[in-house]
């Protein structure tokens, strides 16, 4: 029998915590709730398979709590989904830079939330699965991605990338010359037909260009078509 996944919901809206917790338990998850970052830190965070985290809370914000989680080796691999009413580009960038696995803006539907949770948990399971094949390397000149090790090297230096950025760039490098529409990228990188803000894709593309240096010019935008990596 498959072990039930444990989820921690951190939000200062008690009604939201109770409602979301109830629905997640009905879906078969083991759920704990916390009404503040301080309360969340009273739990053993390394025990959880996923943390749903609000940004705007009390003295310690969700962003600050995420930094604490990601800086601690025992909890750094615990995936985080930000659930927040803050949807500015700056807020999205902060979340992605911290290594958040997803970013959902309020109000959201329960169907959307459940789909995003399934997607993140499934991806984490794949990432942690034992490797069964040799390393798959995709490269263009000094830009080298290892699909197996999930690493990005730019002219011999490793560049840290959140999962979404890495997956987009891997998609591009494994299909050099091909342009992908927004719809294709959403289906591939954000599956289960969930609703994702268009600017989330734009932010990821912008961040990729900045991080890969001179190769950023190869990540092109084809107006009316989409994005791709062109030699």
pLDDT at 194 over 60: no
Q: What is the pTM of this model?
A: 0.60
CB 82 within 8 A of CB 104: yes
> What are the pLDDT digits (tens) for 141-169?
999 998 888 889 999 899 988 888 999 99
**Residue in this structure with the two tokens 């979340």, named with its chain if needed:** 95
pLDDT-derived band of residue 129, with 50, 70 and 90 as boundaries? very low
Give me 179's structure tokens.
Answer: 């342009």
Q: For residues 128 and 7, give the distance between their C-alpha atoms in angstroms, rounded to a whole number.
A: 18
3-state secondary structure at position 21: helix
Q: For residues 66 and 88, give the distance between their C-alpha atoms in angstroms, rounded to a whole number.
A: 18
Q: What is the mean pLDDT of residues 129-143?
A: 68
DSSP structure string for 144-181: EEETTTTEEEETTEE----HHHHHHHHHHHTTTT-EE-
3-state secondary structure at position 220: strand
Per-residue model confidence (pLDDT) at position 133:
42
> What are the pLDDT digits (tens) for 204-227?
899 999 999 999 999 999 887 889
């Amino acid at each position: 029998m498959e072990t039930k996944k444990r989820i921690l919901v951190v939000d200062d809206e008690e009604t939201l915590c109770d409602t979301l917790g109830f629905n997640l338990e009905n879906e078969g998850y083991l759920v704990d709730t916390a009404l503040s970052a301080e309360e969340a830190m009273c739990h053993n965070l390394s025990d959880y398979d996923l943390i749903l985290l609000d940004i705007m809370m009390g003295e310690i914000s969700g962003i600050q709590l995420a930094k604490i989680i990601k800086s601690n080796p025992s909890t750094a691999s615990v995936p985080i989904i930000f659930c927040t009413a803050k949807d500015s580009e700056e807020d999205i960038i902060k979340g992605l830079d911290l290594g958040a696995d997803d970013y959902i803006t309020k109000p959201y539907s329960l169907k959307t939330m459940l789909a995003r949770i399934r997607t993140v948990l499934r991806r984490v399971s794949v990432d942690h699965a034992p490797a069964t094949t040799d390393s798959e390397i995709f490269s263009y000149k000094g830009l080298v991605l290892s699909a197996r090790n999930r690493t990005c090297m730019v002219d011999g230096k490793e560049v840290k990338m959140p999962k979404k950025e890495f997956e987009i760039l891997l998609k591009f490098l494994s299909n050099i010359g091909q342009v992908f529409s927004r719809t294709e990228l959403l289906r591939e990188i954000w599956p289960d037909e969930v609703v994702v803000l268009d600017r989330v894709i734009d932010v990821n593309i912008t961040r990729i260009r900045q991080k890969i240096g001179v190769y950023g010019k190869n990540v092109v935008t084809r107006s009316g078509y989409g994005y791709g990596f062109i030699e």
